[in-house]
Amino acid sequence: MAREYTHLEQNRLEKLERLRSLGIEPYPTRAERSHTSLEAIQAFEQREASGKPEGLEVTLAGRLRSMRTMGKITFAHIEDGAGRVQLFFRADDVGQEGLELFNREFDLGDFIQASGEMFRTRTQEVTLRVRSFRMLAKAITPLPAAKDEVVDGQVVRHATLADPERRYRQRYADLAINPEVRQVFRARAAIVRALREFLDARDFIEVETPILQPIYGGAAARPFVTHHNQLKQQLYLRISFELYLKRLLVGNLERVYEIGRDFRNEGVDRTHNPEFTQLEFYVAYADYLQVMELTEQMVAYVAEKVLGKLTLTYQGAEINLAPPWKRLALRDGLLGASGIDIHAHPTASSLLAEMRKIGMQADAHAPRGKLIDALLSEKLEPTLTQPTFLYDYPRDISPLAKSKPGDPQTVERFEGFIAGMELCNAFTELNDPLDQEARFLEMGRDYGADDEQRHPMDEDYLRAMRYGMPPNGGFGMGIDRLTMLLTGSANIREVILFPHLREREGEP
C-alpha cells in the first residue's frame, strides 16, 4: 500500500534528510543517560539543601514535549518514564550553530539526549543547562497532542487525543501523551504483582496449563475454535483453567494458581472483552467458606499495596474493601431484591411465571438455573455496591461445585460482587467422580446438543478424578475488572492495552 505522508510528516522527513546531510545519524545505535528526569531534579535539590548546588553534571534522555525559542536561547521540556524536566539551550553554551540546529531540525516528539549542569532558573524551575545534545530518534509523525502547561505541579493539557477509538487503536500514542493512561497500566502491573505476592506467601505454586485445549470446559461460554494442522485436530482456546488446575490436585500439588488469558467468543461491552485475564486458585482441604476469607484478605492486600488504603471511590460510589465482607445467601438476596423466593418455585415454569409477574422477560425454554441467573443479573447484582459474597447457588448452573450437605439442589458456591460488578466466583469443588459424570450428563440434557455453552463430557478429567481428588476450594477472578475497580475505570477497554475493535480497512 502506498503511504501518503501529511505535509507535517513531509516536513519532518526533510529535516531527517538535512540531518543526514550534516553527518548526523537521526537513529543512532546507542544512547546514554546518567539520571532520569526525577533523579536529576532530586539530586539537584539535595545539593541545594547542602548549600552547594553548582556542579551537578548529568546526561538526560527523553522525548521532546515542548519548545520555546527566544532568539539566542531556547527552553524545552523532555519527558521520560519518570516525569519531565526543562532544558535550557543558550548560544553561549551550545554555540550559535548548535542552537540553530536544535531550533530548526528538532521537533516535538523527537527522542533526544542532553548533557550539562543542573541549575535553577529565575522562575525557580530546576533545569538542565545544556552543553551538548544529540538526536536519539527522530519522530516523523507528530504526536496527536497540542500544548500543555504545568499549573501547581500538575500537567494541564489544553487539547489532547480524546477520541476513544483512536486511543484504543493507537494505544502507543495514547500512552505517549496521556500520563494517566500510563498510570492505569502501572497499577495493573502492581495488582498482578500483589496477587502473586499474596499467594506465593501462602505456599501456592504458580503453574501454566494449556491454552489450546481439545475439550473446553470449566465455564459456560462459547469458545474460539482453531485447528492444529499436523495433528489434524480441532482445538479450542480455553474458556477457563479450572479442569486442568484441578487435575493438579489429583497429582498432590495442594495449592496451585494460574494467572493468564481466557477467551470467550461472546459479546463485547463495558465489562466484557473476548480475551481477558483471570486468576484461578485451588486449595486442597479448604471449603468455600475458607476461600471466602482468603478472597477478602487477598483483595484487601492488593488494595493496600496498590492504593495504600482500603477505601476507594468508583463511579461516584464510596466503597470499603475492609474484611469481613457482607455475606448474603442467594435466596435471601433474590427475595429482597425481587420479592421472589426461589425455594417456593422449584420448577422452571413456576419461576418463569413469577418473574413475568414482576415484568421480567425471560426465555420460555431456559432451565431454572438460567432463570435464577437472569433474576440475579437484573435485580440483585446492580444493588451490590459494597463488597458482598452471594452464596449457595442452584446446582444446575454449577456443574463443578459440590452440593450442600442435606440439600442436593443447592451447591456450595459463592460469587463476590463490588460496585454492581461480578468480580469472582468460587466453590467447594466437586470431587466425586460419579456425581461429576452425572452432572455432565445433566448439562447435556438441559442445554441440548447444539448449545455450545453446555459442558462437553471430559473423560480424561473424570479419569483424573477417579484416581482420587482431595476435597478442595477453588476460586476465579477477573483481573481486568479488579483493575477497573482499583483504577476507577468505567470501561474494561481502559485497562486492556490493546482491546479488540472491529477491523478497519487498511488497519489492524
Give the nearer residue to RNA in terms of CB position, either 73 or 289.
Answer: 73
Place of cell 487525543: 161
Selected binder of RNA within 20, 68, 309, 327 (CB under 7 A) = 68
**Contact indicator for 93, 131 with CB cutoff of 8 Å:** yes
Helices (H), 423-478: 433-447, 459-466
Give the nearer residue to RNA in terms of CB position, either 304 or 378.
Answer: 378
Compute the residue count for the chain: 508
- Which residue stretch of 30-38, 200-208, 249-257, 260-268 sits at the interface with RNA (rule: CB under 7 A)? 260-268
Give the nearer residue to RNA in terms of CB position, either 134 or 272.
Answer: 272
Give the nearer residue to RNA in terms of CB position, either 194 or 480.
Answer: 480
Selected binder of RNA within 60, 101, 219, 298 (CB under 7 A) = 219
* C-alpha grid cell, residue 363: 426465555
Please report whether residue 21 would count as binding RNA according to CB under 7 A: no
Tell which positions 116-155 bind RNA, by CB under 7 A: 121-125, 127, 142, 144-151
Give the nearer residue to RNA in terms of CB position, either 287 or 373.
Answer: 373
Binding characters for RNA, 189-218, by CB under 7 A (x = yes):
------------------------------
Please report whether residue 73 would count as binding RNA according to CB under 7 A: yes
Please report how close the Cβ of residue 499 comes to RNA at its closest, in angstroms: 7
Please report whether residue 267 would count as binding RNA according to CB under 7 A: yes
Tell which positions 441-500 bind RNA, by CB under 7 A: 453, 455, 490-491, 493
- Which residue stretch of 130-138, 264-272, 286-294, 330-338 sits at the interface with RNA (rule: CB under 7 A)? 264-272
Please report how close the Cβ of residue 297 comes to RNA at its closest, in angstroms: 23
Q: Between helices 479-487 and 179-200, what is the axis angle to 10°?
A: 120
Tell which positions 283-302 bind RNA, by CB under 7 A: none
Q: Please enumerate in sequence order all residues whose Cβ is within 8 A of that of 421, keeping only pairs 6 or more positions apart, or say none.
A: 271, 381, 481, 484, 485
Please report how close the Cβ of residue 149 comes to RNA at its closest, in angstroms: 2
Task: Give CA–CA dist 452/400, Å, rounded.
Answer: 17
Please report how close the Cβ of residue 106 comes to RNA at its closest, in angstroms: 9
Q: What angle do CA 398, 429, 241 make, to 5 degrees?
A: 80
Place of cell 539526549: 113
Q: What is the DSSP letter of 302?
A: H
Please report how close the Cβ of residue 305 comes to RNA at its closest, in angstroms: 26
**Contact indicator for 436, 463 with CB cutoff of 8 Å:** no
Selected binder of RNA within 39, 48, 117, 160 (CB under 7 A) = 160
Please report how close the Cβ of residue 212 comes to RNA at its closest, in angstroms: 20
Tell which positions 340-379 bind RNA, by CB under 7 A: 361, 363, 370, 373-374, 377-378
Give the nearer residue to RNA in terms of CB position, either 221 or 319.
Answer: 221
Please report, in angstroms and rounded to a whole number, the separation of the first and last CA atoms in the chain.
14
Q: Between helices 459-466 and 433-447, what is the axis angle to 10°?
A: 160
Please report how close the Cβ of residue 427 comes to RNA at its closest, in angstroms: 8
Task: Give CA–CA dist 330/394, Å, rounded.
Answer: 9
Give the nearer residue to RNA in terms of CB position, either 35 or 370.
Answer: 370
Please report how close the Cβ of residue 271 comes to RNA at its closest, in angstroms: 7
| Of 417, 386, 387, 196, nearest in space to 305 by CA | 196
CA dist list (Å): 373 to 9, 44, 222, 271, 452? 54, 61, 17, 17, 18
CA dist list (Å): 161 to 8, 172, 498? 17, 12, 16
Please report whether residue 435 would count as binding RNA according to CB under 7 A: no
Please report whether residue 91 would count as binding RNA according to CB under 7 A: yes
Q: What angle do CA 381, 195, 394 make, to 5 degrees?
A: 35
Residues binding RNA: number (CB under 7 A): 80
HSE (side-chain half, CA atoms, 13 Å) at 387: 23
